[in-house]
Structure 1
Amino acid sequence: MGFAIIDLEGVALSPQERELLQHPQVAGVILFTRNYENPSQLRSLIQTIKKIRPLFVAVDQEGGRVQRFHRGFTDLPSMRYFGECYQHDPLQARKHLENALKTVVHELKEVGIDVNMTPVLDIDQGKNEIIGERSFSGDPRVVEALGSVVIDTLHANRMPAVAKHFPGHGGVTADSHQALPIDERDPEAILQCDWLPFSALSSRLDAIMPAHIIYPAFDEKPATFSRYWLQDMLRQRLNFRGVIISDDLTMQGAAVIGDYPTRAAQALEAGCDLLTICNSREGVIAILDSLLHYRNPESQQRLLSFSRFTTGG
């Protein structure tokens, strides 16, 4: 199994994309709104992808404003909505979230989607608009409780749980799509807040996505490229045995590392198993060419376990 998760430009495969999907280092495809017209078209697109190779197909169908497919799919409320419900009636909020997510997962699986990149375990500290309503709450206990519901519901419907953005995106104001955020808080502030949901739920997560954020109290590199965060903290301290998936390597939060091949090489060296590469065909090709013969046996074992959720695995 390869390491790359790549995107597509439109609602059908181009000849170049058909060729790229045959590259041995491509492991999966992530879809966006630009790839969607209606459920029938989407099902046909995914079937075409999987006829080329048994790749997994992923999407960010979190709910609220991060929902790639609308018409023909059930709109899921934002995670903040469920967090607010939890403050009034925890049991009812859990049930409501479970039922709503169950519907969404069923719809995704009906068209052939294997992976929904959720739950968001970031803490909403009122600082970051890119997180904002994507977070359940500013209270780590609420995030943990509702994150647990998401994990259980995904697993009950044979879909992996992919948590983001480790060790927490809520404490910065910058958007890592547009800039490199730096979280200047001291270690205790992070470990006693943002860290808690990841720590509590890590043993039940199938994958974790680190943040393109620098936490200078811990390490000088963004978490995606940091052996400290991915090896010392995630693998050793939390004993996490799942897959580590990078956020999009074309984001500005990753640019500090260097060109596309350098970003990919350093993310893999730090401990990522899968690399998301979107919105730059040039970047995809450069990375695939530079790492044509890359192979990590330990990573392959984790990816083999992850692939049990996918129709191609």
Structure 2
Amino acid sequence: MTLSPTIFGCAGPRLGEAERAFFQRVNPLGFILFARNCETPDQIRALVGDLRASVGREDAPVLIDQEGGRVARLKPPQWRAAPPAERFGRLAERHRDAAVEAVRINSHLIARELASLGIDVDCAPVLDLRLPGAHDVIGDRSFGGRPERVAELGRAACEGFLAAGVLPVIKHIPGHGRAFVDSHHELPVVRTPRPELEATDFEAFRLLADMPWAMTAHLVFAAIDPDRPATLSPKVIAEIIRGHIGFDGLLLCDDLSMKALKGDLGDLARQALAAGCDIVLHCNGVMEEMTRVAAAAGGITAEAERRFRRGREMQQSGIAIAAASEARLDALMRGLA
């Protein structure tokens, strides 16, 4: 059965019969979980199993946003409270090597928790820069304002995920750090000249262009395409993401139902795929919306399948991380190691 270039959420902690039938018919590439889907470890494992069974693929990817800090779908007391990226960036200002090790261990600990639940893709790390005056939608989710430092810590995070068999998703490519409004609610417009963007926002992503998956940013870069947000812009995707940055992994759009994008969801899905996204993401689990997205998406391309397989190969090649423990992480964060 043809794969659909879609990733969908579901409404609650258990898979409904209408959802099961829909996923069986549509055959989406994979699924994404949110806090509404997560109650206990056993419940999550059962839901993940039901989602994969609905499409008859044990390897169907299951995603989650587990960055640490305020963006974490799995929370205490059942799961560890991981620090936000900003704390590692601050540590790096004093102890670079300790920060790199701490990020790698922290991501590995997150990934081990996810893998134990059957979740195999984490929508992290954030490679957006933290810049003065920008909206705090990124804020402490960023490693900092220097692209080289962000890329170094971002690579350590990716290594930690891969070591536990979890695919990282670098986001929000080609950079969300200059947004002055929250793209969950409005469409940001960035008016920074292209040379400055290439030297700053885009550079962190260029330095991690070898990663397996990336998620787009819903914002307009006026210097490149003043008429379309990056997710829907053939020019931004071809010239910047695939061109200047050189990313050849699986390109996933950010959630189509965010308010930054206007219009019919089916039309938005078509536009995102036509622009060059490999996969469209729809998160809220509303059946009527998912039906429109699936009808518009068609089948996955051969190029997208190639990129997906490449990611799977990377997922199997992670190297074990020694001393990946909470005690070691705590020591590093307190400057004791």
Question: For residues 221-278 of structure 1, what are the alpha-carbon distances to aligned partners after superposition, in whole Å with 9 as ceiling and x for unaligned?
Answer: 10001111211222233332210000000111121xx311110001001111111112
Q: Could you say what secondary structure the match of 1:22 adopts? A: helix
Q: Structure 2 matches for 1:102-141, cutoff 5 A? A: 102-126=108-132, 127-141=134-148
Q: Contact 1:273–1:303 at 8 Å: present in 2 too? A: no
Distance 2:299 2:104 in 1: 40
Question: Which amino acid counterpart does residue 130 of structure 1 have in structure 2?
Answer: V
Task: Report what 1:67 is aligned to.
Answer: 72
Question: For residues 102-150 of structure 1, what are the alpha-carbon distances to aligned partners after superposition, in whole Å with 9 as ceiling and x for unaligned?
Answer: 1111110001001001110000013121100110101212201101101
If asked which structure has higher relative contact order (CA below 8 Å, sep 6+), I would say 2
Q: Could you say what secondary structure the match of 1:201 adopts? A: coil
Residue 53 of structure 2 is aligned to residue 47 of structure 1: no
Question: Which amino acid counterpart does residue 176 of structure 1 have in structure 2?
Answer: S
Task: Report what 1:80 is aligned to.
Answer: 86
- Structure 2 stretches of 5 or more lacking a match? 317-337
Task: Report what 1:5 is aligned to.
Answer: 7
Task: Report what 2:162 is aligned to.
Answer: 155
- Corresponding pairs, count: 307
Distance 2:314 2:194 in 1: 36
Question: Which amino acid counterpart does residue 201 of structure 1 have in structure 2?
Answer: L
Q: Could you say what secondary structure the match of 2:170 adopts? A: strand
Distance 1:308 1:21 in 2: 26
How does the TM-score come out when normalised to structure 1? 0.93
Task: Report what 1:36 is aligned to.
Answer: 38
Residue 256 of structure 2 is aligned to residue 254 of structure 1: no
Task: Report what 1:23 is aligned to.
Answer: 25
Task: Report what 2:249 is aligned to.
Answer: 242
Task: Report what 2:176 is aligned to.
Answer: 169
Task: Report what 1:90 is aligned to.
Answer: 96
Question: For residues 14-45 of structure 1, what are the alpha-carbon distances to aligned partners after superposition, in whole Å with 9 as ceiling and x for unaligned?
Answer: 11111122133411110011111111111111
Which stretch shifts more, 300-309 or 25-34? 300-309
Question: Which amino acid counterpart does residue 287 of structure 2 have in structure 1?
Answer: R
Question: For residues 193-233 of structure 1, what are the alpha-carbon distances to aligned partners after superposition, in whole Å with 9 as ceiling and x for unaligned?
Answer: 11111111112x10111111001111121000111121122
Distance 2:166 2:117 in 1: 14
Question: For residues 55-77 of structure 1, what are the alpha-carbon distances to aligned partners after superposition, in whole Å with 9 as ceiling and x for unaligned?
Answer: 21100000000000113111110
Distance 1:309 1:191 in 2: 27
Question: Which amino acid counterpart does residue 301 of structure 2 have in structure 1?
Answer: N
- Structure 1 stretches of 5 or more lacking a match? none
Computed over aligned residues only, the root mean square deviation of the Cα atoms, in angstroms, reads 1.6
Task: Report what 2:230 is aligned to.
Answer: 223
Question: Which amino acid counterpart does residue 36 of structure 1 have in structure 2?
Answer: C
Q: Could you say what secondary structure the match of 2:86 adopts? A: helix
Residue 301 of structure 2 is aligned to residue 299 of structure 1: no
Q: Contact 1:114–1:309 at 8 Å: present in 2 too? A: no
Distance 1:155 1:19 in 2: 33
